[in-house]
Amino acid sequence: MSDSDIVDAARKFARVFGETDTASDVASALACLEADALADVLRACGRDASAEAWLDFHAEADDEGDTHWDRHGNSEEY
Ligand SMILES: [Zn+2]
């Protein structure tokens, strides 16, 4: 697999997973590291707003002291 194949795959991933409908259904099931990794790919592909939406939906399931706890309650904005 060439670098351009990887870039194409990352862009496709970001386009598909950039849908906030998916984030609201799935993000709460992710571990903090998984949510951060997904958000990193979205940001790298220029989808910063989608990355923030994923982390906010994910944060709803975080417990106090977890990585994204300080974002808890932000998902109502989307
Ligand atoms: Zn988290």
DSSP 9-54: HHHHHHHHHT-HHHHHHHGGGS-HHHHHHHHHHHHHTT-HHHHHHH
Ligand 1 centroid to Cα of residue 33, in Å, is 7
Ligand 1 centroid to Cα of residue 73, in Å, is 13
Ligand 1 centroid to Cα of residue 30, in Å, is 8
| Confidence class for position 72, pLDDT limits 50, 70, 90 | confident
Ligand 1 centroid to Cα of residue 68, in Å, is 4
Name, in order, each residue with C-beta under 8 angstroms of 58's C-beta and a sequence gap of 6 or more: 23, 27, 28, 30, 32, 35, 68
> What number is the average pLDDT over the span 22-36?
95
Counted domains in the chain: 1
Segment 30-62, tens digit of pLDDT: 999 999 999 999 999 999 999 999 999 999 999
pLDDT at residue 78 tops 50: no
| Predicted model pTM | 0.88
Residues 14 and 43 sit within 8 Å (Cβ to Cβ): no
Q: 66: domain range?
A: 3-77
How many Cβ atoms sit within 10 Å of the Cβ of residue 38?
22
Ligand 1 centroid to Cα of residue 54, in Å, is 10
